[in-house]
Chain A
Amino acid sequence: MVLSVRDLAVTRGGLAILEGVSFDLSPGEALVLRGPNGVGKTTLLRSVAGLQPPETGTVTGAEDQIAYAAHSDGLKAMLSVTENLKFWASVFGLSDIEPALVAFDLTDLRNRMAGTLSAGQKRRLGLARLMVTGRPIWILDEPTVSLDVTSVALFADAVRMHLKGGGSALMATHIDLGLTEARVLDLTPFKAAPRTRQMDEAFL
């Protein structure tokens, strides 16, 4: 399923920040979004994920196809690594979490409470969650925060495996993942001209 974004404009806090963004993401492809802080990478990803309606433009092919990983990992401190993953797997109607544990080197930590993990380990668990969703399009917002070089390599391998399996990935990141096949889209040229959003819907 091709994810296609056409002429997207997004707002943050009522201010237009990006406009005219268009791209396609076919199965097996990875697209890396770049741009300085505040350019609207997170807002764009949230719009694609359907969490925030775009001001104008359309996103097609995302419905029920995407797995979203935000800045925060959505882990419960009082649940163990296995319980956290099992929960997300069953929410998405799957049950096998072993490949995810192996891919992110979490097998030794499987019975630890998520609250006792280090920041990097939590991040790995948060990313392992993507693998148990079974969704073809991964949307990743700064996936490598607090990961060391080895873990970044683990993550890059997981993404590569996902792409090989017919999936695709859309990510905002600053560091080089070593994914040579990934296309890069710089968002700086799409910065919106300063204007305020029309308050046509008041609180909605």
Chain B
Amino acid sequence: MTWVGRTLPRLEDPTLLKGGGRFTADLKAGAWAVKFVRSPEAAGTIVEVERPDEGIVFTAEDLDAAGVGSIQAVLDRPDYRRVPHPVLARDRVVFAGQAVALVVAPTEAEAEDLAEQVFVDIDTEDAVTSIEAALAEGARDVHPEAPGNVMVEGVMRTPGVDAAFDAAACVVELDLSSARQSAMPMETRGGVADYDPATGRVTLYASVQMPHMLRTGLADVLGIDEGDLRVVAPDVGGGFGQKMSLFPEYVALVWTAFRLRRKVAWIEDRRENFLSASHARDQQFTVRGAFDAEGRLLAVDADLRSNVGAFSCYPVTCGVEPLMAFAELPGPYDFAEYGVRSRGVTTNLSMMAPYRGVARPMLTLSMEQLMDAAAEKLDLDPVEIRRRNLITSFPHTSPTGLVYDEASYLEAMEAAVTSADIPGFRERQAAALAEGRYLGLGLSVFSERTGYGTPAFAARKMQIVPGYETVDCEMGPSGQVTLRIGASPHGQGLKTALAQLLADQLGVAPERIRVISGDTDASPYGWGTFASRSMVISGGASKIASGQLADKLRAIAGVLLEVDPSGVELKDGLALATGTNKSLSIAEVARAAHHQSHRFEGMAPGLKEQAFYDPSGTFSNAAHVCEVELDPETCGVRITRFLVVEDAGRLINPMIVDGQIAGGVAQGIATALYEELVFDEFGTMLTTSLADYLPPTAAEIPDIEIIHMETISPQTVTEAKGVGEGGTIGAPAAVLSALNDALRPFGTRITSMPATPDRIAAALRAARTAAAEAEA
């Protein structure tokens, strides 16, 4: 039996369960505290920063005098507007929460006292906060560099779009939107920058997903050599994309450590995290679908607007949302004609950066709502219309040129529909309606592009092209295995899953395998953990490197056992000469490799292999079914069932995969029903606590039923496809589809997320008014 495919309890857990985890804030003993003074205004000119007579206070002037630059996120596209992101605001502020000054004091309490004595005098301007306001005729430009407030714009139109709409039997047009959200990791951002007087180096411990990239970015902005800086991601309390970007706070913190030649720490509080960490979603999509009389989708024409906020996130840039939406809107559906205009719109809000799912929750909602609306118009079953449009032959090339590998779009949907017992549900729904209760069932089918290497990022014209992963795989003289990876897991259980992969290759138990990540001094240059990539790419590199190491072990064991290496099997800690009774422990082989290297002609001493993997990418897929009950009095929505049929290829550790799906679905439900960052007309955030911003609890999230399919694709050497984001991608569409099914008797439909009681009540009122007017 292989280790791959087994539900193995995670190797990471005992320490975390005993309170022994080392998160960034746990490492701040002896550090002086850094606090940021932030702009209370969303837009304006800085008149003066009044400092107290005593205490350490730094502003942009100090950084400028030291030659510190700005953060520069670059896309090599003619439509991209490059706006430098200052570390501390110079002259102008462009969002409420932007760092204007920083203070340093021996304790956090003293630093907070000091920060309260710094006054920022701002000559305010009207804030531009919404997509509508930013795109309105005569709107004030948020940045002079981006006239019209468009930072990036993707446009394409296949030749037959208009003809397809002209010929269509049914055209559906929908306006859909998703509110601004926070990824809201339980651990906020934070860093401890430790100056070492012996070497003159600074080590930054920070709650981040991309430590190597962060070091490159920090060195560039500070104008220092990367060798003078070590970045370590210790235990990280969730990221979900929010911890990918280089934030100004980290630049300022590292600069302060160099400047003061001491250990300093900045631990963000929750309010700061809401105000000034990156935001997500906040998109408005207008989509039109042209269908023939049989419900076949002929064309989609889309106008996609994403509110990217005040700056472009480094390294992935503000193109990440609009350009992914542009490229991937077609989803799992087979149609030829596609017109799209996708804009990243700048406003006076904190910058948008990736959040689990990126663009796909909205584009899945768009395609699924198009299917549901067309089915209703054509009097077709919602399942049947999808059946007629899903991609079934592979490889498939989308209208934007994406090549889809083997997947199970149709099969997964059929499995979901069967398990959901839709006929049975319709009976329950009818019986409930007769009692005045409103049930709904919704479906979503989607593709999740995962595990893509440099080709996909290069196609986005990123100046920094991420994608490959490198690993070092080493066996020491006592047979202990160390795998050093460039990925940077933060809760995904990657270390356990990689240990399972290696255990099969090397014939040693997973607990003998140490995985080292997230330390620029100890792990190879890599891109960290994001975009559902680590198992595919870092896993692929690990499989290749450990395969090379296994070959070498077999060669050495062959010499020692006097058999051909091809006859050596590595299993249960032993190197066995098959067909004989001869064997050695792997530890003995390892010892010989290090201490008897003169005996192994043509082989380098020791046992160390490096490999990289840079795949073109693969597509996971899934179908979600959601059942809800709507209370038309309170307009509350209760999810009564949630079913996922997931196809992520080979499952390395099924328990971990299920955990990713369940956690992802919970975040998708949050997008659909609960979470929203709310701002007033001045651009001031009104939801700066967890009492105002409402992530769901155990009371709102149902148990998720999960069924697996395993389509094996040649596009991934581990045979695993990525699975980190799928739950978040598919759930909002399934929930809204179910809610709209429940709303059908009222003749209304919700296409704005979150579908809060307020929004549902407004839709019901509007429907009642319209019905009354129609009668009158």
- Pair from one complex: no
